[in-house]
A and B are shown apart, each in its own frame.
Chain A
Amino acid sequence: MPRAVRGLLIECDPSIKSMILKYDEERHDYIVEDLDDENHLVIKESQLQNLKVRLDQVLTAP
């Protein structure tokens, strides 16, 4: 039986994807579905801002 799940499709570099996977390991509160290819995954809509902030902090560190 096919199902539809609401979420945000994220398109990014493999490096970013592995960071998101790592964040998700902590409390499993980001990912809806890991799409199993190098640069796509579906996350919860509410977590986008949070994720952006976290990535920004790491990536723009001096």
Chain B
Amino acid sequence: MTSATSRPLEYLEGLPGTTFYKLYQQPSTALAIFRRMLPDLVNVAKCFVMALLYLKDPLPTADLEVWVNSESKKERDNALSILGRLHILSTTLTGDNVRAYMITNPFAASLRQALTGAEDSHSFGVFSQAPEHTLTSITDLDEYARRQWEGVMGYMVGTSALSGQRDMVNLSKGVKQLLQAGHLVEIRGNRVDITKDGFGFVLQDVNTQVWHILILYVESAEAIGMDSVEVLSFLFLLSSLELGSSYDKSHMTPNQLRTLMDLADFGIVYQEHADATRFYPTRLATTLTSDSSALSNPVTGSLTGPAGPSGGSGSGFIIIETNYRLYAYTSSPLQISLISLFTNLKYRFPNLVTGKITRQSVRRAIEMGITADQIISYLLSHAHPQLRKHSAAQPNGKGVPASVLPPTVTDQIRLWQLERDRLRATAGFLFKDFTSLAEYQAPCQYAAEIGVLVWKSDRKRMFFVTRHEQVAAFLRSQKVGGK
């Protein structure tokens, strides 16, 4: 799930501090960031925020360091660094010149307001009071979200033209432009060609896809004259709404209404028609900032499962044998074209396609920019229940259930990728020219603690990091402290 959390996080980290200041004015944004943006790995970060939130005075750094076991220094520093990058935590000097941590202000005030509920600024949306003529059920919303989202996917993969029997989803011009602006598809004349990025995109899980699209949307909002901060805080507002309830549109600003229209095209929200007085968030919206495990089942199950009535989790349809033969019980054109990205398909029956995964087909996929891990995770998440049953019934000697996919196949797919990718590249910064071993060791250790160190050589006194800002700041502070 790291990919699901890291992309919005990375995007947010890139924003300037003033944007954060404006964003954190909204209680819903503060809560959403607190809930979701701090990835599961750094629950420590959440503890720090909660502990510091209601303190009147900044907490001296030494006091905070006492809370954490000395073996977990790495986790602590990682947590503090993430909080710093999100402008949640800042350091100040107390009266007697001690360095101390405090939660930054608009964030602290907003989060307190969100937690205690003392607010009247419509930050969490307003329930629609108008009587419901036609009740829209959760099943309807799921169906709507699935149809729209699969329509978008289908447009990208180019299946909508093939599938005469399925009800075509009419994609608005805005959707198409957004996909093109995000370099997920290229439009040449009348043809839609999917790009490398697009291939990677369609194989991801739905939540990651939605975030990807939303970030593209925010980035493009400026270009069409909308304030990106306003759009972003509206997205966080959407994510905190309740599935199955309808919300009033009369309090919303023109820009928010416009965003709402655009998001309806993706199936993220639903409204009966453009002039309706209320809107419903769909599951795509309400699971944006919740726990990732909770959302992958219902929507993914119904979104990417077979076209048949069987929904929910465990509705996999792909069987792979140890001889690389693949059987997919599906008639969905979207799924078939996804599978054909990395498989040589041989036969197609009304409810079944069969093919074989070969060196050539995997290499073709990798050349298009799909990674072996993406293929394997796609196969795994759509594995047929029979495969799962088989693996559960056959513990491999040590009581551990055997892997769902045949290990020969997954290993071979990885080997085929390695065959092509002979080198691994990491962008970052090389620190060098340290005069003494002592001068080298301290920043190197610090880089390791905040989790940015990739490579080091004690002999050459060099180390390589993915981010240099904090290490450089550390070097500076050391120099001041030393003299």
Which of A's residues lie within 8 Å of B, judged by CB?
1-13, 16, 32-33, 35-37, 40, 42-43, 45, 48, 51-52, 55-56, 59-60
Question: In the complex, how many angstroms separate the beta carbon of A12 from the nearest chain B beta carbon?
Answer: 4
Contacts A4-B468, A5-B432 hold; do A36 and B460 have CB atoms under 8 A apart?
Answer: yes
In the complex, chain B residues whose CB is within 8 Å of the CB of A6: 428-429
Interface assignment of B425: CB less than 8 Å from any CB of chain A: yes
Greatest chain B CB density within 10 A among A4, A56, A60 is at A4
Which of B's residues lie within 8 Å of A, judged by CB?
420, 422-435, 439-440, 443, 454-455, 457, 460, 462, 464, 468, 471-472, 475
Greatest chain B CB density within 10 A among A35, A37, A45 is at A35
B464 engages A9 (CB within 8 Å): yes
8 more A-B contacts (CB under 8 A) besides A2-B432, A9-B430, A9-B464?
Answer: A3-B432, A4-B471, A9-B425, A16-B422, A33-B430, A33-B432, A55-B423, A59-B422
The residue on A at minimum CB distance from B460 is A36
B423 engages A16 (CB within 8 Å): yes
In the complex, chain B residues whose CB is within 8 Å of the CB of A2: 431-435, 439-440, 443, 475
Closest 5 CB pairs of A and B: A12-B423, A11-B424, A9-B426, A8-B425, A4-B429
A33 engages B462 (CB within 8 Å): yes
Contact of A9 among B440, B443, B454 (CB under 8 A): B454
A12 engages B462 (CB within 8 Å): no
When chains A and B are docked, how far (Å) is the Cα of A48 from the Cα of B427?
A: 10
B431 engages A3 (CB within 8 Å): yes
A4 engages B424 (CB within 8 Å): no
Question: In the complex, how many angstroms separate the beta carbon of B179 from the nearest chain A beta carbon?
Answer: 24
Contacts A10-B424, A59-B422 hold; do A36 and B457 have CB atoms under 8 A apart?
Answer: yes
In the complex, chain B residues whose CB is within 8 Å of the CB of A51: 423
In the complex, chain A residues whose CB is within 8 Å of the CB of B460: 35-36
In the complex, chain A residues whose CB is within 8 Å of the CB of B439: 2
When chains A and B are docked, how far (Å) is the Cα of A5 from the Cα of B464?
A: 9
When chains A and B are docked, how far (Å) is the Cα of A12 from the Cα of B420?
A: 12
In the complex, chain A residues whose CB is within 8 Å of the CB of B431: 2-4
Question: In the complex, how many angstroms separate the beta carbon of A51 from the nearest chain B beta carbon?
Answer: 8
When chains A and B are docked, how far (Å) is the Cα of A4 from the Cα of B466?
A: 11
B454 engages A35 (CB within 8 Å): no
In the complex, chain B residues whose CB is within 8 Å of the CB of A32: 430
Question: In the complex, how many angstroms separate the beta carbon of B335 from the nearest chain A beta carbon?
Answer: 31
Contacts A35-B460, A36-B457 hold; do A5 and B423 have CB atoms under 8 A apart?
Answer: no
Contacts A4-B431, A33-B430 hold; do A13 and B422 have CB atoms under 8 A apart?
Answer: yes
Question: In the complex, how many angstroms separate the beta carbon of A27 from the nearest chain B beta carbon?
Answer: 20
Contacts A35-B455, A35-B462, A36-B457 hold; do A4 and B425 have CB atoms under 8 A apart?
Answer: no
Question: In the complex, how many angstroms separate the beta carbon of B267 from the nearest chain A beta carbon?
Answer: 36
In the complex, chain B residues whose CB is within 8 Å of the CB of A59: 422
The residue on B at minimum CB distance from A13 is B422
When chains A and B are docked, how far (Å) is the Cα of A60 from the Cα of B430?
A: 32
When chains A and B are docked, how far (Å) is the Cα of A45 from the Cα of B390?
A: 47
In the complex, chain A residues whose CB is within 8 Å of the CB of B434: 2
In the complex, chain B residues whose CB is within 8 Å of the CB of A55: 422-423
B430 engages A42 (CB within 8 Å): yes
A1 engages B435 (CB within 8 Å): yes
The residue on B at minimum CB distance from A39 is B423
In the complex, chain A residues whose CB is within 8 Å of the CB of B440: 2
The residue on A at minimum CB distance from B426 is A9
